[in-house]
Structure 1
Amino acid sequence: MSLHRLRPLLRTPLLRSSSRRITTTAPRPAAAVLQNPRKDEEGKEMMIDLTPRATKRLKEIQAKEANPNLALRITVEAGGCHGFQYLMSLSDKFDAVEDTVFGDDGAKVVMDEPSLELLKGSKIDYTMELIGSQFKIVDNPKATSSCGCGTSFDIKM
């Protein structure tokens, strides 16, 4: 079919691209704070969210390791190609004073206060790609840019 004959079809509402986001799942509430809730300078509780994939993978790791206390520890440090970098590890040790523990259906994420300040409002996801699978920070409201691999970011000042 020639381009001349396709043009009227491209103008039909069915073939036009839409800028609306369509989701197949209902929005999930933020992960519950299990230990040591923190508030920001405006007095709002600092929260993160766990996607269903991240929750599922964390629970699989807990079951495989036979350790229901195992959590994903996320720390932000200076460095990387954009100023800050995410560091992630598994841990079953929590500091009652320094750490905030979030939970969703048995899965746990642990952050220290400075890291939580930079990640509040973010989502923790688990991605499966051709190059490998990993936990990833997505939708960080403080990040202005990030590197291609997603482990380094810059913040709004």
Structure 2
Amino acid sequence: MTSPQTMCLSCLRAAQRAARTSTKVLNKPSQLSHRTYHTSTPSPQPLPVTRKLVQRPYISAYHAIPKKQITAPGATTHRTLATAATSPTSPPTNDPQPTRAILHPRNDDSGNPMRVSLSPRATNRLAAIASKDSNPNLALRILIESGGCHGFQYVMSLVNLSTEPATEEDTVFEGEKGAKVVVDEASLELLNGSTVDYTMELIGSQFVVTGIPGATSSCGCGTSFDIKL
């Protein structure tokens, strides 16, 4: 057998130092295993600014329509018609208004008073003329004379009784509002029971005599007529 090789003291110490150094190096933790990787941490970014939403009440088509216009399908809409509360009145009439003889009244053969009536239109027109002229003595004179296309015709004129007073042959009739009519005796025998009216037509406005007793025919102008005697 080969005897173990002897080692000097110096070599032994060198070997021990080498062994301690090798152990120290092996026991030292590796730097690579504990390497720290530094990563940049991004700084916090500000959140995007958003507009604040304002909540508004929801308005549907149902709410947009007034309730009074919404009716159920098939329902009948009842409307209230506003009518003026007025009492029924009769339409204005133009019925003859009686007059009274204020000068020289006369009677017919039967003893009845002879009279000429006035319509409301004729009364209002005569009163308006007298008021406009400020003359209450204005009167409408009616005179019947022979002539015209039907044998007789009447002629009318406005007279002022204060300057042209009535004669003994004239009869003066007065109606409402002071309206006056003057008729001579001969004309009154033919006009007894007739009515003086005032017409307003396209051709003009004029006084006319209607309802002449005994008149059988008249012309288109109305002033000429025929009387059965």
TM more than 0.5: yes
Aligned equivalents of 2:97 and 2:204: distance in 1? 28
Structure 1, unaligned runs of 5 or more: 1-22
User: Structure 2 residue aligned with 1:32, among 75, 100, 104?
Assistant: 100
Q: CA-atom RMSD, angstroms?
A: 1.6
Greater shift, 95-104 or 78-87, is seen at 95-104
TM-score under structure 2 length normalisation: 0.56
Partner of 1:47: 115
Partner secondary structure for residue 133 of structure 1:
strand
Aligned equivalents of 2:181 and 2:94: distance in 1? 22
Rg comparison, structure with higher value: 2
Aligned residues: 135
Per-residue deviation, 1:26: 8.6
User: Structure 1 residue aligned with 2:186, among 103, 110, 114?
Assistant: 114
Q: Percent identical across equivalent pairs? A: 59
Give 2:225's aligned amino acid: F
Give 2:170's aligned amino acid: D
User: Structure 1 residue aligned with 2:137, among 69, 88, 91?
Assistant: 69
Q: Deviations over 1:84-137 (max 9, x none)?
A: 111000012232411100111200000000000000000000000000000000
Higher share in strand: 1
Per-residue deviation, 1:72: 0.2
Aligned equivalents of 1:143 and 1:24: distance in 2? 28
Aligned equivalents of 1:79 and 1:28: distance in 2? 28
Aligned equivalents of 1:57 and 1:139: distance in 2? 20
Question: Quick one: structure 1 residues 60 and 27, their matched pair in 2 at CA, closer, same or farther if it must change by over 3 Å?
Answer: closer
Contact 1:142–1:156 (Cα < 8 Å) also in 2: yes
TM-score under structure 1 length normalisation: 0.81
Contact 1:94–1:110 (Cα < 8 Å) also in 2: no
